[in-house]
């Protein structure tokens, strides 16, 4: 199964099961998850963008692309930490980017294997990289591998949307948020997409 090929099926089933979701799907008709970049580039972008504005991340990314090939882990490893810092990365992020590249080069992360791996196995592989936590791994599953049933309960936007639409503005404990997500299986990625759109109609691309 891949999205957005099955997006309409997901929308039909979500709308039939949940009136709030139906209203969101009608309101944001035509809004579809989009992907960008190869696996290594996507994860490197995620590290670059941590805890800074989109504008700042884009500026640093352009500078990095001038000194490394962002699609080639070996290219990143061939450049020392200091030039990466001069491009705008912090010392820690430069080290994270190197660690990510090393995981790809030595095969600890191999995108070829992803098709045969379940979501949790991929999350465990990715979070072994310094600087990649569960949330980043889940965003990768959703926006790069287009896995259909990811429910990123640590996401602040998701928490806010559920509170506003289903719980009179009160944030749910994570255990209850996980339980609530069960109603949208096997399309929790799509449900998350529309919940995010309820807060911000601008589509996000990772």
| pLDDT, position 55 | 87
Helices (H), the chain: 7-17, 19-27, 39-48, 54-65, 73-77, 81-86, 91-105, 111-114, 119-126, 134-143, 156-166, 174-181, 188-199
Query: How is residue 14 written in tokens?
Result: 């979500």
Residue 3 confidence class, pLDDT cut points 50, 70, 90 = low
- Rounded Cα distance, 32 and 157, in Å: 18
- In sign, the C-alpha dihedral spanning 132, 90, 84, 57 is positive
Lowest mean pLDDT among 55-59, 103-107, 187-191: 55-59
CATH number of 39-143: 1.10.340.30
The pTM for the full model equals 0.90
Fold of the domain built from segment(s) 7-34+149-199: Endonuclease Iii, domain 2 (1.10.1670)
Query: How is residue 77 written in tokens?
Result: 């490893």
Q: At what angle do helices 119-126 and 134-143 cross, to 10 degrees?
A: 130
| pLDDT, position 154 | 93
Q: Break the chain into its structural domains and give their ranges.
A: 7-34+149-199, 39-143
- Rounded Cα distance, 91 and 66, in Å: 19
Give 8-52 pLDDT, tens digit per residue: 999 999 999 999 999 999 999 988 888 877 999 999 999 998 888
């Amino acid at each position: 199964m891949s999205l957005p090929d099955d997006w309409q099926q997901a929308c039909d089933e979500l709308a039939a099961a949940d009136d709030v979701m139906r209203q969101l799907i009608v309101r944001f008709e035509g809004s579809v998850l989009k992907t960008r970049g190869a696996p290594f580039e996507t994860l490197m972008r995620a590290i670059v963008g941590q805890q800074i504005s989109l504008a700042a991340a884009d500026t640093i990314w352009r500078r990095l692309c001038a000194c490394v090939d962002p699609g080639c882990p070996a290219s990143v490893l061939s450049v020392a930490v200091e030039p990466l810092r001069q491009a705008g990365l912090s010392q820690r992020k430069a080290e994270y980017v190197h660690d990510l590249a090393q995981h790809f080069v030595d095969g600890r992360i191999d995108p070829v294997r992803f098709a045969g791996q379940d979501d949790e196995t991929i999350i465990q592989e990715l979070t072994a990289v310094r600087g990649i936590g569960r949330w980043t791994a889940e965003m990768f599953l959703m926006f790069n591998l287009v896995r259909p049933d990811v429910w990123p309960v640590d996401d602040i936007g998701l928490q806010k949307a559920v509170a506003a639409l289903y719980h009179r503005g009160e944030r749910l404990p994570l255990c209850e948020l996980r339980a609530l997500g069960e109603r949208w299986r096997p399309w929790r990625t799509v449900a998350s997409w529309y919940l995010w759109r309820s807060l911000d109609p601008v589509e996000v691309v990772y």
